[in-house]
Amino acid sequence: MLEGVYAALSRATAADWLLLASGLLLGLYLLGTWRYDFFKRRGVASTIPKAPFLGNTLKAFLGLSPFPDLVQDLYRQGKGHGVFGFFEFRRPIFMIRDPDLIKVVTVKDFDHFMNHRSVASEKADPIFTQNLFNLKDQRWKDMRTTLSPAFTTSKIKAMFPLISACTAQTAKHLHEEQEALIKRGKKGPLEVDMKDLFTRLANDVIATVAFGVGCDSQKDPKNEFYFMGKEMTTFTFLRTIIFVAYLVMPKVAEALGLRVLSERATNYFDTLVHSTIKERQQKGIFRPDMLQLLMQAREGQLKAEANEEHETEKFDSKFKLSNNDITAQAVIFFFAGFETVSTALCFTAYALSRHPDAQLRLQKEVDAMMKETGGKPTYEAIQGMKYLDAVINEALRMYPPVVAVDRMCREDFVLPPSDTSPSVHIRNGDITWVPIYALHHDPELWEEPDKFDPERFSDENKHRIKPFSYAPFGLGPRLCIGQRFALLEVKLALVNLVANFDIRPSPKTKHPLQFEKGFNMMIRGGFWNQLIPRNV
């Protein structure tokens, strides 16, 4: 048989080879474009990719374009349409642009859109796939119900001293750096890499609150916890490719056993959690941190308190956590708290440095609070600071750490018609997107959206915000469970910073702001500010 094939190939002419090559190219072209009429068949406005296989998102996935810019560009192309289609490589994505339809997907008919899609293998990355963000269906419901009592107001308040100690420690470190410069005869402001500063702060908060480990990453920049945390959360080019592989060809990626998380870092945190749990059980140690609450949840001892009936979530779960479940949740707290909190702080500091009037007003509010509390902020005092709240909300509007969130349809559903869109049939397995960054910058939803204006969130103005147009922590039942915790950390960090320093722009930070290429919310040139000690 092979001899016949060889004989046929030896008799092939140049014209035969050209015909074969043309056929193969045509076949590849058809394979790479055959889905591009998907949205036309569904009656949905869309943008058609220019090249086979590559879709509309290639540049962002390859780190050639900033992800926020890509999301906003696609959003603008869909102007006038409540639902707009684009392609993530060959996979069609429904971008939900209309806030009223976003409400349908994220709240009203949430049961149809309960899940995020899978981006890892349960066998290769069990820690990553077992955390709350990646769980699906009833398993997610059980885990959310089990964990919710750990994030009530009273539990977050109990962690206040731990967070406060970390933020005060960071302010002290900055003063020590300033004094060291003066001793060396160097005058002028302190030039600070804010991303490095806030990443180390976030690391120390997560270390003490989620893992029960004491760290001072400012004084000990090479401590193992910080090093492993960076390894866990940094998406190298190779890990980005693996992530893309799960999006484009998940079955192949799973069959190859590709890991999204670093195996070494995963093993480190797994061992840390298990050994800490064992020590606390053997020695009867109790600590008011997240790990303790997870241990209580495992034993079914974690309940909402009577005075917390106003909390929006109901607590009635017989689901029991294993030690591996606890590790998985601790790791996702690390992911959420390490990168997103530090990013939110960086952009808020950047905005304050560019808007000295807003910074001065915030400092006056902080000074008044400090005077009232004798220089020792309380949980109630921090939560009562309205302008601080407005500043953070506006920074999160302009620079949301999460650019977009997805929802996978788990049961065929007809999205109802709206003023901007006819009804749309979304089928089981289809992916929808909520384009958070683009919504936050839509001039039809926000007046002068590129202007930093905390007054949007004042008591007098916040009622004007269109519901479901603001979503820095997501929306609906899958709203970030750690929202209260994250906001408290950001507030305490900012209070300690502006109470002690004036924040000034640095020549190292480019202005106007340009995003770094790739998926992370970073700016080109990095986050640099000059800090000048205040005389108050």
Bind-site residues for heme: 480
Q: Is 319 left (phi over 0), alpha (psi -120 to 50) or beta?
A: beta
Dump strand ranges (E) for 40-90.
83-88
Alpha-carbon gap, residue 526 to 151, rounded angstroms:
33
Closest CA to 140 of 107, 114, 120, 104: 114
For the CA atoms of 200, 201, 203, 206, what is the dihedral angle to 10 degrees?
Answer: 180
Amino acid occupying residue 360: L
* H runs (alpha helix) in 148-192: 153-183
Closest CA to 499 of 406, 385, 336, 328: 385
How many residues are present in the chain? 536
| Residues 508, 531 contacting (CB under 8 angstroms) | no
Helix (H) or strand (E) holding 58: helix 58-61
Alpha-carbon gap, residue 195 to 361, rounded angstroms:
24
Phi/psi at 133 (nearest 5 deg)?
A: -65, -35
Closest CA to 89 of 127, 54, 120, 42: 54
| R_g (Cα) of the chain, nearest Å | 26
* H runs (alpha helix) in 284-425: 290-298, 323-335, 341-354, 356-373, 379-383, 386-398
